[in-house]
A and B are shown apart, each in its own frame.
Chain A
Amino acid sequence: RKEVEQDPGPFNVPEGATVAFNCTYSNSASQSFFWYRQDCRKEPKLLMSVYSSGNEDGRFTAQLNRASQYISLLIRDSKLSDSATYLCVVNMGGNTGKLIFGQGTTLQVKP
């Protein structure tokens, strides 16, 4: 079983749609959680951290369910510029900052 699992997609949605991505992780000792965004042929960049209480940043909402070991990302009112691969990322804890990446979910927003 992969340590971090995501549906690779692709998700093809029209502009203005709401889309949700899910992710599960296998190690219950995981300490912190993130969504990164990776554009085609570019480096990953932090989109947002994910907290148990849920957090929102504009059109983006992230949620963590530690009991189910499940992380989600909701994008409202999709824009063409949201087209990218969204990486679910788990920090295993300790002071090394070791990150485990999911395979990524590809989103294509169409006009």
Chain B
Amino acid sequence: DTAVSQTPKYLVTQMGNDKSIKCEQNLGHDTMYWYKQDSKKFLKIMFSYNNKELIINETVPNRFSPKSPDKAHLNLHINSLELGDSAVYFCASRTGGAGETQYFGPGTRLLVL
């Protein structure tokens, strides 16, 4: 009965590879997000989708491409992985309205070697 789930939890890969992270929420929320938390613990928004429509697209290398097949899923594909991509990637979702809580997934720990 996990609310926001991500797969995989851990991802170790070589530079130059392409990888995907999947996120699913069963809360019935309309909006989903991808965040990156780097080694200094800063959590930064990357993308957001509202009902399959891209609504936030921060300054992120175009090697990162989000895809939302439906409003319960938001996946993140990363091409040509670089060492600096190593981080924890969190998915989150919320219902709507500026004051609404965002619920986070458990995170995907990506290590690029």
User: Does residue B79 face the partner (Cβ distance < 8 Å to A)?
Assistant: no
Contact B102 A97 (CB under 8 A): yes
A-B contact count (CB 8 A): 57
User: Does residue A42 face the partner (Cβ distance < 8 Å to B)?
Assistant: yes
Q: Which residue of B lies closest to A93 (CB)?
A: B98
Contact A44 B90 (CB under 8 A): yes
B89 to chain A, nearest CB (A): 11
Q: Which residues of B have CB within 8 Å of A85?
A: 41
A23 to B56: give the CA distance in the assembly, Å: 25
Q: Which residues of B have CB within 8 Å of A104?
A: 41
Contact A96 B56 (CB under 8 A): yes
Which residues between 30 and 47 of chain A lie within 8 Å of chain B, taking CB atoms?
31-32, 34, 42-46
- 1/0 contact string of A88-111 vs chain B (CB within 8 Å): 000101111111110110000000
Contact A98 B40 (CB under 8 A): no
A103 to B94: give the CA distance in the assembly, Å: 22
Q: Which 9 A-B pairs have the closest CB atoms?
A: A43-B104, A101-B43, A32-B99, A46-B101, A31-B98, A96-B55, A32-B98, A96-B56, A44-B104
- Sample 10 A-B pairs with CB under 8 A, ordered by A number: A31-B98, A32-B98, A42-B107, A45-B104, A46-B102, A95-B50, A95-B98, A97-B33, A98-B56, A101-B43
